[in-house]
Amino acid sequence: MKIMTGVMAFAAVMMLAGSPAVKAHDAHDHGQDIVETAVAAGAFETLVAAVQAAGLVETLQGEGPFTVFAPTDEAFAALPEGTVESLLQPENRDQLVAILTYHVVAGKVMAADVVNLTSAETVNGASVTIAVEDGAVKIDGATVIQADVEASNGVIHVIDQVILP
């Protein structure tokens, strides 16, 4: 039964990899880093603005590898009104850094690796929970809507919610 669940989870993640949420990159062309990949995708303007405000651009353009659970612009828009604007204020930089680093795992964790995990330690030091529910991969309750968007220094998994530490 455990093997079947793992196979079903892997199949669900692989189906998500074909989701149109992010423009797919050629599997052999990983010249862009995490930040450049997010910018090119066009679905992460808020995330990129937050990364810039937090001073994390250079880090996410570093050698890595990194795994980023990237909320879409729609995920940020679903937050209570004024939340994003507040977090982007210089006086809230520490809180913004804590939230953003909660979306990053050191190392390159591909969809095929997910079937063996129930949690992962984030760069901020806290762990996210990983589960498969009704054929969907969940990261702290957020659904992975596209997996394995590769970059030169890691991988992005697109999620439908902002997760909080």
Q: Which are the contacts of 73, defined by CB distance < 8 A and separation ≥ 6?
A: 43, 44, 45, 46, 47
Mean pLDDT throughout 87-114? 95
How would residue 12 be classed by pLDDT, with cut points 50, 70 and 90? Answer: very low
Percentage with pLDDT > 70 across the chain: 81
Within the chain, strands assigned E span: 66-71, 104-106, 119-121, 127-133, 136-139, 142-151, 154-159
- Specify the pLDDT at position 113: 87
Q: What is the pLDDT of residues 29-68, one digit of tens each?
A: 458 999 999 999 999 999 999 999 999 999 999 999 999 9
Mean pLDDT throughout 4-24? 39
Low-confidence winner among 24-28, 132-136, 143-147 (lowest mean pLDDT)? 24-28
How would residue 114 be classed by pLDDT, with cut points 50, 70 and 90? Answer: confident
- Specify the pLDDT at position 121: 96
Cis bond before residue 165 (omega within 30° of 0): no
Tokens describing residue 82: 């004024």
Mean pLDDT throughout 86-99? 96
Ordered domains of the chain (ranges, CATH) = 2-159 (2.30.180.10)
* Residue 87: pLDDT over 50: yes
